[in-house]
Every structure is written in C-alpha cells, then in structure tokens.
Structure 1
Amino acid sequence: MKLHPFVRTPYFRRAANLVSRNLPLLYLFVGLCTSPGAFASVNRPPDAYPTRSMEAQLATYLGYPPALHNRQGVVMISFRLTAANRLTNLQVHSQEKALNEYIAGRLTGKFVSPEAFSQQGVYTVRLRFRLR
C-alpha cells in the first residue's frame, strides 16, 4: 500500500505519535465537553417564585389599546387559569366596549405562570395604560 506524500512527512508522524500517546486524555476531554448534562444538577428544586408579576406577564401580550385615544387609564381584569396555565373566563371591567373587546381578544387563551403559592380560583389584575 502506497501512502500519500503528506503522510510520510516528519510533521505528520510527530503529530500522529503525540495523539496516539495522549488518546485516553483526548477522549476524556471531548466526552466531558460534549455531554449535555455534564455540569447540570439533576436534583435542582423548581423555582419558588415566578420571574415576573402577573401584571407584567399580561402586559407583554398587550400594546397601547387604540380604543383609549391617547388617554391614560386603569383597567381591572378578572380571569381563571386552566390546568395548563392558560387564561379563560376573561372579564374586563371598564366602561368602553371597544377596550373590553381589544383586551379580551388579545388575552384569551394566553399562557401565564401563576404567582407562587396562589391557589385562588379567580384572579383579579389591575393593568395601567400610560402615555409615553
């Protein structure tokens, strides 16, 4: 069998000898670096508190409502959460029908993480709309 000219060079032979002597260390290093759970804790407790308040989570689904026409205001919303933490039975408590429809349309069925240790059936949240 005839070898390629590059394989016969001293540089390649030195590299091949170096790798063959340190092959177990190389396998160990590559295995530790590429294993997905090498440094993950399996027994990590779940987070005790949500990362954001319920108001902040709901505000991410809403923009400034066009029904307010450059006014500020506070709107109360009451709802229930399903077993999958999705909003259901949403009721918007405001005087403007267009605002109620806008908020109900944007929030119904959206996912939120409930606040810690909160086992209540009906949630009531206050949303503030401010001019910027």
Structure 2
Amino acid sequence: MELVSKPVSLQKLWRRLVAISAICVSIGGAHAQNLDQGKSGARLFADGCTTCHHSARGLSKARFRLTLFLFLQDHYATNSSSAWALTSYLESVDGAQHSRSRDAAAKPSAPATRTLRPSIRPPASVPEH
C-alpha cells in the first residue's frame, strides 16, 4: 500500500496553524502564575531590590505616593498589588525614620533634663558699710 500525501491547501494549513496557536496560548495562559502574589512589601524588597539598594531608607523620600507607585509598577513590580505593597513598605520605613527624628527633636537631650536656672537673676544685694 502506497502512502501518497494529498496536497493541503494553503487556507487549510492557515486554519490549522491558527487553531494550534490558540490552543497553545490558552494552555500557557492558564498555567501562568504570579510569583509575587501574597508577599509582603518587606519580602518584595528583599527579593528584588537588595541587589542594588542595601537599605529601604530614603527611597520614598520627597516622592508622592502615587508617583512612587507608578514608578515601581512600570519598572520593578510584576503587577499593581505588588507595586502597592512595595510602595507602602518604602513609605513605612521612611515614615518610621521621620517620626523618630521628629521625636528626638521634640525631646530635650539628657543633660538638658536637669532643672535649668534662669539666665537672668536679680541683682545681688549691695553690702552695707
């Protein structure tokens, strides 16, 4: 028995290729997963940012929350939820640093806690002769 292949029309070949491509895309899309899902901001920073940034301090300094989020979403985060988590973490680190510096400025230093004498004193009594 001789196997002779029939010529396949170009239109049928195109249909088959489109169908196979659609199947591959749907299978591949169904198995894709977000590796950053459920990670805290601290974990996201540790996993992706510590290569270049040794500390999170100062990274959100002088930036609006929205612009920081958009920057992180465009350049570093895989999705919007991880960008928000990372934004919140960076702001919390800088917020804690700012509140400590404000608290330190509001509290007097240890030597200044003693009772201070007024710098202006009444004149000394004049000795009588």
Question: Scaled by the length of structure 2, what TM-score is found?
Answer: 0.31
Higher strand share: 1
Question: Scaled by the length of structure 1, what TM-score is found?
Answer: 0.30
